[in-house]
Amino acid sequence: MAIHRNCQGTSRRDCLKLGLGALLGGGLVDALRLRSVAGESSGRSTSCIMVWLDGGPSHFETFDPKPDAPAEIRGEFQPIHTRIPGAYFSENMRRLAAISDKLTIVRSIRHDQNNHGAGNHYMTTGAPTRIPVSCGAFVSFHPSMGSVVSAERGAPNGLPAYFSIPSMARSGGPNFLGARHAPFVVSDDPNQPSFRVRDVAIPRELEDGRALSRRDLRSRLDQMARYRDRAAGDPVLGVDENYQQAVSIMNSAAAQRAFDIGREPEHVRNAFGRTTFGQQALLARRLVEGGVPFITLYNGGWDHHSNIFPAFRQQGQRFEAVVATLIDDLDQRGMLDTTLVLVLGEFGRTPQISTLSDGGTPGRDHWSNAMSVLVAGCGTPRGQVVGATDRRGYAAVERIYAPENFVATVYTKLGINPDKILYAGNGRPTHLVSDPRPIAELM
Amino acid sequence: MKESVLLGVIAWSCALAPAHAGAPSPAIPRKPVTFEFDVQPILTRFGCNSGPCHGKSRGQNGFALSLLGFDADFDYSSLIHESRGRRVLPAAPEHSMLLSKPAGQMPHGGGKRFEVGSPPYEMLRAWIRAGAPRTPADAPRIVRVITEPAGRRLAAKQGFQLRVIAEYSDGSRRDVTEGSAFQSNDTTVAAVAGEGIVRSGGLPGEAAIMARYMNNIAVCTVTIPLPGDVPDEAYRKLPRQNDIDELVWKKLPLLGILPSPPANEATFHRRAYLKAIGRLPTPAETQAFLADRSPDKRARLIDRLLERPEYADFWANKWADLIRPNPYRVGIKAVWNLDAWLRDSFRKNKPYDQFARELVAAQGSTWRHGATVIFRDRPDAVEIGASVSQLFLGVRLECAKCHHHPFEVWSQDDFFGFAAFFARVGHKGGLSPPISGGEEIIFTMNAGQLQHGRTGAAVAPKTLAGKSLTLGPDDDPREVLADWMTDKANPYFAKVMANRVWSELMGQGLVEPVDDIRATNPPSNGPLLDALADDFRRQGYDIKKLVRKIMLSHVFALSSRPTERNVSDLKNFSRYYRQRMRAEVLLDAVNDVLGTEESFAAMPAGSRAAQMWTHRASSIFLDTFGRPDPNQDPPCERKTESTTPQVLHLMNSPALNRKLSQDTARPAQLAASKKTSDNIVEELYLLAYGRLPSSDERATALEHLSRATLVNRRRAVEDLFWAILNTPEFYIVD
């Protein structure tokens, strides 16, 4: 078991995560019926790419610099102009500043969960944890946004509806929605020439002919009796449906095309950058083109208790170039109007630069009283800043919003009613979002 | 009080008098209209105080009611005093928001609920006009609510009107069908509409129709027998191994169902292995069983299985799903300890009452005594109280933490009274989880009280039987609770475990969900559940004896194949219900067939999946096949639904394919051996399916192998293994 080191903020679960599926009422017949309903897509074309910066990126070093604050708060970097009148970004966000007329920065989402476990949960599900949890916790008390979108919107073209690349966020699971709404995790590196999406293609060692003959042999040997009457609730009929769907994904031109990043022209691949994260972002865009409604791009290592300034010079710049390319690329293809791009982590960082952590190099600690969230596309006004923190970046002071409002915004943009009631496994009614009011400035 | 009644009468005559210039409304109530008696039922019936609307804790658009009207004072105050009194305007009743909103005259988020002039409208109007009186405190109270009829047999596609009658403390009765809410526990068998009209669907079966009037509940059982006559003779002739069969057969005539014939020997044998110990039989075991001609071979098989070491791992895993915490919360060492305690308990076949007592009353170090760890995981009395009542008593008190339980009798007083048994759990040491897995000592303090969540008053421990207890500083409240739980008279304790064990063996509980036992969720066969529980109690809570008894029944050994007379039966055990293997069982089965080993992080080499002490050790396979999300809190009930990624994983997983083609794996070994193709095919069928191939299957497989040249014989054997591992017969328990 890989032991999670506290505050490293990296998730070790790079797998297709299928948690418990507690269906209301239970029973095989219910499961079969539900499955057939879930297969029907509502036909909406909006999608969301959530870039999750796990650990909690500093708002000072990204989109909310405080040049007038004392040195121990403002840090090493200078503010730079953006295309939004009067708004400044930190100097390493150059590419994003250049396309800032395509996006909105929200500076006033805040909450009170100052640790990774609870902050992750709150921001990715819209619900606070039911009981206090700590930094190292990986908890799930409520379905994640991606799982809800999967349940509400269904899957297109034989593709799963919810992807997580390259791993699931800590609270990114389906909870009571059931295993089929767990994210389909693409853990392999799309920057490798040998990249393939796991399990949806025959293993590389097998030539096509052998795979086909295996399937043929299987169909001839598969003699188990089927109880055809649906009233009998035979799980083997469910398996047959799954098998057909599996083969259809393997044979689906749309699915295989979406996964085949090698079809992308060289100059596009280069524009996204020949890095793992760059190619992951490109893969996410291809999945959106294939009709996938929700993709999490998980990016760890934003828990800068130490060494924050060098980190933002390198990691910060690399990341922002990819995100800027992604937004630009979507816009050029006319996809930005139907694709919601989100960039956030679980919280912001402390104003006071600290040297608490090992090494004693400057860093900032957890700070949920203020954070910056980037939102673009899907009808989000282009080129604005919503809300503000105080002069020293301690607290959101204008147009204060809660994680609930943020998550409600995402659902509303994706055509899902955030005021909906879901039924947990024990029949208990649960609000999708307890405060379903979206952030007005983003609508 | 006379005065207020009098006032009511005056108000009532006022309501009669003016206002209606046109025809008098037929719906004008005949009696003084008062809040608790008349108005609250309307708020409940139209869903105003339901969870999605004003009944949620923050209300809706500023107007909050208690959920389903459990707090009359709160609701009254909310209507009369809030919103600057605009909700209820006695001077101009029609302008009250209580009327104009639901009648659609003012914008209402909940839409139009009833028409102007309809009976509920007129009732509310009369109440407002009367000055919005409360129901006098000494007015007759509801003693109970019943349905008429209490039960009914119906043919398919028929209907009837269910009536709900409230009986009052003064002996009076009132038809409250209008104000009642209804719910069916199986709408495919019989559905119920808002007004209490029950309609059967196309399927035979049984449905419980719940009627709720205010906080009172009654249940009507509707039975739809399969058409056609079954002679009594047919039931008399059914075999009976023990009283389980007797009680199952007793239920079937009510529904006109006949059981399927017995499963064949090989199917029974494989089922017994998978259900008792979670692993496949070996070819030698299967062949020996099939060759055995002695009449008691099944009993001997079951006895052998119960003594296998795998038994403990298999059954401990089910409890691990229920109580084993996330190591990030309590530390690795603590989880390891609890896991070891669980396995040890099942290895020793610890009596279930002792098992429960050791957990509930656990004291000591989380580093030494695993049972204490549940208190490190849930340090709050309220948390552990809700958990214990669900685990051991099948009572879901959790709802009653914040409000009166919507489907049951449990109130907030019950909830906090039960949680108060844990008010004196002391914690010492152990840094806050999960920063460190530090050692924590769990002990019983001399003092400590729990505060009621709503009133803030100190709560005395109170059993679910309703007795408040006064305990001295020397009494350990948790020991007192354990005494009450494990007492022979406890109505829940033995039943919940009997239902859990039944559900694991039979693929379906007598009550579903297995830990939700209440009047409004009746068991599919109550006498059977009672008999199992009684027997379990009499046998000293011996779990193995319970397992043995169920496995020895004729019912356990039925075929899964439906007949014309039981095809739609999904809960009366007239046939065996197929299920997919659990994740760990399946992974171990794959390795057993392939002759390979899995290597898990945090486990010794050669460990089986059934032995893993935490869900946090990575395994793509186990995640894909639905082991509980390690990030989720226990209890984690599993659903063994099948999914497309599972099918894809078995087909295409590079790891599985590598395993299949290892030099040391069984396919390569068999191909290189001197065994004939026929031997290989037979061995594979025995390994994977626990039976010999049919002649067709043998021919198909042999034909496949015969096409292979000597050089690619190994590939052909691998392909054969691949094909069999990808069929449902391999991963379904039939």
| Least confidently predicted of A398-412, B69-83, B276-290, B606-620 | B69-83
Distance (Å, whole) CA B117 – CA A115:
56
pLDDT of residue A16 exceeding 60, the answer is no
pLDDT confidence bin for B204, thresholds 50/70/90:
confident
| Token pair in block for residue A417 | 């009613």
CA–centroid distance for B23 within its chain: 54
User: For chain A, what is the mean pLDDT?
Assistant: 85
Contacts of B602 in chain A (CB under 8 A): 1
pLDDT on residue A384:
96
Which residue in this structure is represented by tokens 């009254």?
Answer: B76
Q: Measured on CA atoms in the order B59, B63, B67, B70, is the torsion positive or negative?
A: positive
Q: Whose structure tokens read 């290989």?
A: B680
Grade residue B633 by pLDDT with cuts at 50, 70 and 90.
low
**A372 band by pLDDT with thresholds 50, 70 and 90:** very high
Phi/psi of residue B633, each to 5°?
A: -75, 145
Which among B336, B357, B637, B371 is positioned nearest to B516, based on CA atoms? Answer: B637
- Residue A381 C-alpha from the chain's centroid: 21
Interchain CB contact of A443 with B (< 8 Å): no
Which position has the token pair 């003959």? A213
A224–B732 C-beta distance less than 8 A: yes
- Could you tell me which of B632, B438, B613, B323 has the C-alpha nearest to residue A117? B632
**Average pLDDT value for residue range B264-285:** 98
Q: Would you state the pLDDT for residue B11?
A: 34
Mean pLDDT for the stretch of residues A374-381 = 97
- The reported pLDDT for the residue numbered A357 is 63
Q: What is the pLDDT of residue B662?
A: 95
Higher confidence at residue A201 or residue B242? B242
pLDDT tens for each residue of A226-260:
999 878 889 898 888 789 878 878 887 778 888 89
What's the average model confidence in pLDDT over A197-210?
A: 82
- From the list B233, B260, B273, B237, the residue with the least C-alpha distance to B555 is B260
CATH number listed for the domain at residues A29-218+231-442:
3.40.720
Residue A141 amino acid letter: F
Q: With beta carbons under 8 A apart, name residues in chain B contacting A28.
A: 570, 577
**Whether pLDDT at B476 is above 60:** yes
Is B178 touching A (CB cutoff 8 A)?
A: no
Confidence of residue B485 (pLDDT cuts 50, 70, 90): very high
Q: How far apart are CA A80 and CA A90, in angstroms?
A: 6
Is residue B10's pLDDT more than 50?
Answer: no
Q: With a CB-CB cutoff of 8 Å, which residues 155-194 of chain A face chain B?
A: 160, 170-171, 173-175, 178-180, 182, 184
Percent of chain B with pLDDT over 70: 92
- According to the 3-state scheme, what is the secondary structure of B555-618? HHHECCCCCCCCCCCCCCCCCCCCEECCHHHHHHHHHHHHCCCCCCCCCCCCCCHHHCCCCCCC
Place of tokens 């409250």: B176
**CB pair distance less than 8 Å for A229 and B649:** no
Q: Select, from the ranges A43-47, A297-301, B468-472, B495-499, the one with the highest average predicted confidence (pLDDT).
A: B495-499
Tokens 């009457």 locate to A229
- Helix (H) or strand (E) holding B450, with range, is strand B450-451
Q: Is A353 left (phi over 0), alpha (psi -120 to 50) or beta?
A: beta
Q: How far apart are CA A292 and CA A285, in angstroms?
A: 9
Q: Which residue has the higher pLDDT, A19 or B672?
A: B672
pLDDT score at B636: 65
Asked if A442 reaches chain B (Cβ–Cβ under 8 Å), the answer is: no
Burial of B422 (0-12, 13-18, 19+ CB in 10 A): buried
Of B397, B394, B424, B425, residue with least CA distance to B413: B397
CB-based contacts of B72: which residues, under 8 Å, 6+ apart? B35, B36, B40, B66, B134
> Which amino acid is it at A95?
R
What residue has token string 């809190």?
B633
Chain B residues near residue A160 by CB distance under 8 angstroms:
645
Provide the token pair at B60.
């809706």
Shortest distance between the Cα of B507 and any Cα of chain A, in A, equals 10
Lowest mean pLDDT across A345-354, B52-61, B408-417, B453-462: B52-61
C-alpha to C-alpha distance for A429 and B132, rounded to whole angstroms:
32
Report whether A422 contacts B510 (CB < 8 A): no
The predicted pLDDT at position B632 comes to 62
Whether residue B342 has pLDDT greater than 90: yes
Q: How confident is the model at residue A315 (pLDDT cuts 50, 70, 90)?
A: very high
- Does the pLDDT of residue A34 top 80, yes or no? no
pLDDT digits (tens, 9 = 90+) for B498-526: 999 999 999 999 998 788 888 778 899 99
**Residue B60 and residue B42 in contact, taking contact as beta carbons nearer than 8 Å:** no
pLDDT of residue A425: 59
pLDDT at B277: 98
Q: Which of A296, A259, A282 is nearest to A328 (CA)?
A: A282
Judge whether residue A423 has pLDDT over 80.
no
- Which pLDDT score, from 0 to 100, does residue B20 have? 36
For B649-675, give the DSSP string. Answer: HHHH-HHHHHHHT-TTSHHHHHHHSS-
Are A302 and A53 in contact by the 8 Å Cβ rule? The answer is yes
B696 CB neighbours in chain A (<8 A) are 223
Burial class (CB in 10 A: 0-12, 13-18, 19+), A113: buried
pLDDT tens digits, residue range B403-417?
666 667 788 889 999
DSSP string, A348-403: EE-SS-B--STT---B--EETT---EEEESTTPPSSEEE-EE-TTSSSEEES-B-H
pLDDT of residue A434: 87
Count CA atoms within 13 Å of residue B317 on its CB side: 23
What ipTM describes this predicted complex? 0.84
Q: Residue B703 pLDDT > 80, yes or no? A: yes
- For the stretch B595-604, pLDDT in tens is 999 989 889 9
| pLDDT given for residue B26 in this prediction | 40
Residues A50-68: tens digit of each pLDDT: 999 999 999 999 999 999 9
Residue A340 C-alpha, separation from nearest chain B C-alpha, in angstroms: 27
Tens of pLDDT, residues A110-157: 998 888 989 999 999 999 887 666 676 677 889 999 999 999 998 776
**DSSP for B422-441, written as a single string:** GTTEEEEE-PSTTT----EE
In the predicted model, is pLDDT for residue A39 greater than 50?
no
Choose among A163, A191, A119, A124: nearest CA to A348: A119
Residue A40: pLDDT above 70?
no
The mean predicted confidence, pLDDT, of chain B is 89
CA distance B205 to B597: 46
Q: Interior CA angle at B491 toward B488 and B494, to 5°?
A: 65
Higher pLDDT, B183 or A294: A294
Q: Is B693 helix (H, G, I), strand (E, B) or coil?
A: coil
CA distance B631 to A12: 12
DSSP one-letter string for A54-67: TT---STTTT---T
| pLDDT bracket for residue B18 (50, 70, 90) | very low
> Chain B contacts of A204, Cβ < 8 Å?
654
pTM higher than the cut 0.90: no
* Domains of chain B and CATH, by start: 2-129 (no CATH), 142-224 (2.60.40.1080), 324-486 (no CATH), 489-577 (no CATH), 580-733 (no CATH)
Give yes or no for residue B1 having a pLDDT over 60: no
- How far apart (Å, rounded) are the C-alpha atoms in residues B167 and A168? 56
Is pLDDT of B400 > 80? no
User: Given this model, what pLDDT does residue B21 score?
Assistant: 35
**Longest pairwise C-alpha distance within chain A:** 76
pLDDT bin (cut points 50, 70, 90) of residue B473 is confident
Instruction: Write the DSSP string, B131-197.
Output: T-PPPPTTS--EEEEEEESSEEE--TT-EEE-EEEEEETTS-EEE-GGG-EEEES-TTTEEE-TTSE
Provide the pLDDT confidence category of residue A387 given band limits of 50, 70 and 90.
Answer: very high
Tokens of B169: 């403390």
- Whether B435 and A6 lie within 8 Å, measured CB to CB: yes
Alpha-carbon distance A140 to nearest alpha carbon in chain B (angstroms): 5
Give the range among B29-43, B225-239, B242-256, B658-672 with minimum mean pLDDT: B29-43
Q: Which segment of A91-100, A264-273, B44-53 scores lowest on mean pLDDT?
A: B44-53
Nearest CA in chain B to A180: B643
Question: Considering only CB atoms, which chain A residues are within 8 Å of B513?
Answer: 26, 425-426
Determine the distance in angstroms separating the CA of A280 from the nearest CA of chain B, rounded to an integer: 21
Chain A residues in contact with B188 (beta carbon < 8 A): 29
Residue of A nearest to B561 (CA): A227
A242–B643 CB contact, under 8 Å: yes
Q: What residue type is assigned to position B74 of the chain? A: F
Residues A169-183: pLDDT tens digits?
A: 889 988 878 767 888
Residue B689 in this model has a pLDDT that exceeds 90: yes
Of B309, B304, B270, nearest in space to B286 by CA: B270
More confident residue, A177 or B391: B391
